[in-house]
């Protein structure tokens, strides 16, 4: 890490991870400025009825006061609704399963927040992500997995631009979650026992179907089996993703049904019985809108490992050129529940090379 004394704008969400990240940088002698990002004002605290972001900012302010650092508030809600929530609705309406956390990191945390840091004169930014950055002698920044395999968040960071990655610290990337909690307690941070946040980035935990219905009207259609026989009705393809088991209303058989495909053109949901049905697996896929962490396309063909969902085990694959500027991934073994709109993230060992959106 660069010498102490540099100014770092730290994204402080009011959670334990970002609070410990800020504390570590203070301890190492950096000039820390906290930055709270307000992106969403619709979520309410179930006990008080207060806008959830106000409570989160209050926690961030308490931590900043404990550490003796200033806290600035950045209101990016207008842009977040347009860039992240807007794309979320458009993706689901098109039959895809987008990942708003991936898009938020690119556009907001390492986009607008990074630009704000530059305007303030900060040399670096930092967040509480479980990931690591290794800076090569040539000045290129490399994104690595966090050392805690249960918390690694590099999957969500593959779209971070090289400029921002090269000026980012992930202070807790070398730590396990249990160590972060223990350190928060030793430092007597006021959020040491605060539960981890869940759900969509900045929005929180919600019923996705209810959320989608705010913008996407129900569009009923047929549920069909793998032979094309109509066995039920659905209220909208946007309510389903590949591999899903819940909310499938059919009047046929007693074994569980799983979503194997979405026929958007004919508004039909294709389902199969059995968790190991071959139609739930893919041997290859194409990715588009690809980002490379170093800014350079690796030499092809490339032996690599790929993760097609967060917390899903990576599998070995070969990356090759695809059609019309896309890239193709051929898996060494079939991969289950591949959903268009999700991200396929490419690794070589512990290094995240990049990734793209699944076609």
Which one of 51, 104, 293, 304 is the catalytic residue?
Answer: 104
Q: What angle separates helix 16-27 from helix 177-186, to the nearest 10 degrees? A: 60
Helices first, then strands: H and E counts in the chain: 9, 17
Which one of 51, 201, 293, 304 is the catalytic residue?
Answer: 201
CB 151 within 8 A of CB 112: no
In the residue annotation, 201 being an active-site residue is answered as: yes
Strand partners for 150: none
Strand partners for 221: 234
CB 206 within 8 A of CB 212: no
Q: Is 313 exposed, middle or buried (0-12, 13-18, 19+ CB in 10 A)?
A: exposed
DSSP assignment of 173-230 = TTS-HHHHHHHHHHTT-TTTTPPPP-SBTTTBS--HHHHHTTTS----EEEE-TT--E
CB 259 within 8 A of CB 241: yes
In the residue annotation, 293 being an active-site residue is answered as: no
CA dist 157 and 105 (Å) reads: 6
Pairing of strands 221-224, 268-273: parallel
Strand boundaries in 127-199, DSSP class E: 131-135, 141-145, 168-169
Length of the chain: 359
Number of Cβ within 10 Å of residue 244's Cβ equals 18
CA dist 73 and 76 (Å) reads: 10
Which residues are catalytic, by number?
A: 104, 201
């Amino acid at each position: 890490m660069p010498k102490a004394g540099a100014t770092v704008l730290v994204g402080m969400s009011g959670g334990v991870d970002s609070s410990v990240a800020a504390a570590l940088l203070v301890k190492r002698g950096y000039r820390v400025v906290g930055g709270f990002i307000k992106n969403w004002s619709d979520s309410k605290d179930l006990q008080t009825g207060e806008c959830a972001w106000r409570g989160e900012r209050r926690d961030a302010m308490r931590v900043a006061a404990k550490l003796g650092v200033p806290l600035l508030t950045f209101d990016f809600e207008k842009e977040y609704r347009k860039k992240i929530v807007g794309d979320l609705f458009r993706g689901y309406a098109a039959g895809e399963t987008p990942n708003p956390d991936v898009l938020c990191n690119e556009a907001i945390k390492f986009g607008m927040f990074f630009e704000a840091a530059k305007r303030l004169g900060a040399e670096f930014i930092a967040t509480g992500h479980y990931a690591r950055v290794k800076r090569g002698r040539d000045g290129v920044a490399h994104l690595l997995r966090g050392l805690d395999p249960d918390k690694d968040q590099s999957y969500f960071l593959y779209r971070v631009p090289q400029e921002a990655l090269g000026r980012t610290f992930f202070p807790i990337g070398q730590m396990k979650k249990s160590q972060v909690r223990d350190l928060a307690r030793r430092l007597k941070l006021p959020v040491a026992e605060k539960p981890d946040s869940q759900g969509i980035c900045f929005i929180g935990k919600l019923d996705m179907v209810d959320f989608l219905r705010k913008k996407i009207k129900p569009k009923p259609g047929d549920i069909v089996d793998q032979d094309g026989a109509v066995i039920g009705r659905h209220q909208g393809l946007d309510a389903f993703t590949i591999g899903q088991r819940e909310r499938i209303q059919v009047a046929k058989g007693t074994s569980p049904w799983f979503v194997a495909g979405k026929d958007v053109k004919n508004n039909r949901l294709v389902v199969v019985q059995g968790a190991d049905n071959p139609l739930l697996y893919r041997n290859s896929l194409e990715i588009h809108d690809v980002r490379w962490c170093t800014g350079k396309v690796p030499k092809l063909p490339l032996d690599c490992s790929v993760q097609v969902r967060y917390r899903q085990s990576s599998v070995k694959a070969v990356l090759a050129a695809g059609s019309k500027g896309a890239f193709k991934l051929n898996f060494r073994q079939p991969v289950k529940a591949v959903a268009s709109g999700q991200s396929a993230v490419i690794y070589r060992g512990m290094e995240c090379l990049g990734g793209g959106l699944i076609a």
